[in-house]
Structure 1
Amino acid sequence: MKKQILVLGSVNADHVLRVNEFPRPGETVTGSSYKIISGGKGANQAVACARLGGETRFMACVGDDAFGRQIIRQLSYDNIDTRAVEQIGHVNTGVALIFVDGKAENCIGIAGEANNCLDENFVGKYQASIADSDYLLMQLETPEDGLLAAAKIAKNHNTSVVLNPAPAKPLSDDLLSCIDIITPNQTEAEVLTGVKVQDQDSAACAAGVFHDKGIRLVIITLGSKGAFISQKENGSLFQDMISAYPVEPVDTTAAGDTFNGGLLVALAEGSDIVDAVRFANGCGALSVMRYGAQTSIPTRADVDLFITGQVPAFIQEIS
């Protein structure tokens, strides 16, 4: 039987404008295209888990608006259990304003809106969903009191707690002590540990800070350099650097979310950590070859072909 993955997190309407260069203060730039796309780190990671083959549940708050209703339907189309997704009256669905430049980098501003309702009281209504899941995957676009409440429930029921600490911000040791697996990028690792992560050695130093806070498994993503693994259990330490797949990116918006989805699916299927990160790297690499957030998340079949050196339909469609 597949292990259950519960994703707790945000839902946003992503307003994406493509520009040659990001505007400077006081400057107006003309975009080449504009789209409204379903996003939010929580929803992105839930979609990634589901498309990549995971048995996926989602806990979230959306607005009492047309986009909120639409996103629930879309999540259901991806075979995600949405029974813990609620429409909140008199509140808008979250919004993200995204610039994507000619180098495939992005600049994002977020208004939480309904996401701010995913607090401790909301989480308390769905304790059973957390207790019945094997993995709880969270990010930082929803209130910290809700994250802490969910993490404590998970720890009390032997549900593995995975935190993707994005967007970057300081966190309490109370929350970090409840985390089993943490998956920061270089910037997020520096914010949380004070260590500037540039290479494998500095990543190992940052991982040591996380281990000292009680986190057993640290995975730090370093973009095109790959991902660094540090696992500390029962007094033993395992560390490794897993290379990235070389691709030509067009939009990195949901690369981290796709990586996290792939990682959770592989772990839920019983892969060891090296194989799980290698699979996650392949998922993230494919995602940067398409525009948008959820529109860029590949299927399991596409990733399986890609990591064995074959050309999936995902790439053929954009070539």
Structure 2
Amino acid sequence: MSVTVVGSINIDTVAVTDVYPERGQTIFGKKIEYFPGGKGANQATAVARLGKPVNMIGAVGQDLYGDKLIHSLQDSKVDTHFIKRSETFATGTAIITIDQTAENTMLVLKGANDDLRINDIESAFNQIDASDVLLVQMEVPQETVIRSMEMAKEKGMYVVLDPAPAEGITVKALDYADIITPNQQETYHMLGVDVTDIDSALEAAEIFEGMGVSNSIIKMGAHGSVVYQKGNWEYIEPISVKAVDSVGAGDAFAGALACAISDGYDTFSAARFATVVGALKVTKLGAQVGIPTIDEVNAFCRERGLTKHQLKKTV
């Protein structure tokens, strides 16, 4: 079986600096890099690098960046057959600044991502038969996301909703999600709950359950996460690493989660595995190129003494 990802594909322009400039201020940065990115493409890459077949449904422009991004996905063994080449828009772009703490600010220009339409989804899903998990985010049009979730449910697929970015969230997506994985900002945007600790994370999870989503992972950044599954819950501690770049950590987490769920693991085991993969991502620069392979995950687990029963079986 495989994972299908519906989402954005971007070129990331990454500027590294010691401190962010204040409004109206000019400062000198340290370096600039150009990386493949986009939440959907990042998540599909994570699934592929962890050894799982994955279909990518998205859109790029008919330009050099579009060519580069498709080749990058293919190099990671992502199936790019369902990627649209837009005749109207240029490839999406993210302008990212990373400071010395590895935190980031991001300006996203959607470009071709806005040209992924319902008919593109229907055409792709009518050709996909062996996929058991759908992974979606909110960087493509809302109606496109909703239609992909509807068709996934019709096919009996398990739907993972990563409700990011907060600006793109639609509550209607909760009607079709089997699990939701918001961070603190997204939780506040959706529910008005300020997640600061385990108790407030549980409050949010219970509200999501009341809204029809009985499985959730409330991510609290450096403070770990709370995994909630139909009334049962578990707190997962963060994994300490030397942070270089936090861009794409949530995408690595989401891809690993979908991969583990497709392998048949319960929410708690899948979330523990995803936590390892997300932690490893922040040790490298680049939202997509920094995503670890399954061999790197295995090596990290051996170094940290993480046992197989703590994670999914491929570790």
Where do 1:105-254 residues align within 5 Å? 105-129=103-127, 132-169=130-167, 171-232=169-230, 237-254=231-248
Secondary structure of the residue aligned to 2:203 is helix
TM-score, structure 2 normalization: 0.93
1:290 to 241, 261, 284: 284
Report Cα offsets for 1:219-253 as digits up to 9, x if no partner. 11111221211111xxxx11110112111211100
Q: Which runs of 5+ in 2 are unaligned?
A: 306-315
2:102 to 98, 101, 104: 104
Query: Conserved in 1, the CA contact under 8 Å of 2:248 and 2:286?
Result: yes
Secondary structure of the residue aligned to 2:216 is strand
Q: How many residues align?
A: 305
**CA-CA distance at 1:127 after TM superposition:** 2.4
Question: What is the rounded CA distance, in whole Å, between the counterparts of 1:241 and 1:310 in structure 2?
Answer: 19
**CA-CA distance at 1:270 after TM superposition:** 1.8
Question: What is the rounded CA distance, in whole Å, between the counterparts of 1:192 and 1:206 in structure 2?
Answer: 10
Query: Conserved in 2, the CA contact under 8 Å of 1:65 and 1:92?
Result: yes
Residue type of the partner of 1:303? V
Report Cα offsets for 1:190-244 as digits up to 9, x if no partner. 1111100011100011111111111121011111221211111xxxx11110112
Query: Conserved in 1, the CA contact under 8 Å of 2:171 and 2:190?
Result: no
1:269 to 258, 263, 278: 263
Q: Aligned pair 1:256/2:250, yes or no?
A: yes
Q: Aligned pair 1:71/2:65, yes or no?
A: no
Query: Conserved in 2, the CA contact under 8 Å of 1:52 and 1:300?
Result: yes
**CA-CA distance at 1:278 after TM superposition:** 1.1
Question: What is the rounded CA distance, in whole Å, between the counterparts of 2:40 and 2:234 in structure 1?
Answer: 28
- Of the structure 1 ranges 131-140 and 38-47, higher mean CA displacement relative to structure 2 is found in 131-140
TM-score, structure 1 normalization: 0.92
- The percentage of aligned residue pairs carrying the same residue is 38
Question: What is the rounded CA distance, in whole Å, between the counterparts of 1:172 and 1:99 in structure 2?
Answer: 27
Question: What is the rounded CA distance, in whole Å, between the counterparts of 1:173 and 1:289 in structure 2?
Answer: 33
Question: What is the rounded CA distance, in whole Å, between the counterparts of 2:201 and 2:129 in structure 1?
Answer: 33
Query: Conserved in 2, the CA contact under 8 Å of 1:42 and 1:139?
Result: yes
Residue type of the partner of 1:213? M
Query: Conserved in 1, the CA contact under 8 Å of 2:51 and 2:294?
Result: yes
Question: What is the rounded CA distance, in whole Å, between the counterparts of 1:268 and 1:169 in structure 2?
Answer: 29
**CA-CA distance at 1:308 after TM superposition:** 2.9
Query: Conserved in 2, the CA contact under 8 Å of 1:8 and 1:60?
Result: yes
Query: Conserved in 2, the CA contact under 8 Å of 1:19 and 1:31?
Result: yes
Question: What is the rounded CA distance, in whole Å, between the counterparts of 2:128 and 2:216 in structure 1?
Answer: 22
- Of the structure 1 ranges 152-161 and 56-65, higher mean CA displacement relative to structure 2 is found in 152-161
* Other-structure match for 2:296: 302
Question: What is the rounded CA distance, in whole Å, between the counterparts of 2:139 and 2:8 in structure 1?
Answer: 6
Provide the alpha-carbon RMSD of the alignment: 1.5
Query: Conserved in 2, the CA contact under 8 Å of 1:130 and 1:159?
Result: no
Q: Aligned pair 1:4/2:8, yes or no?
A: no
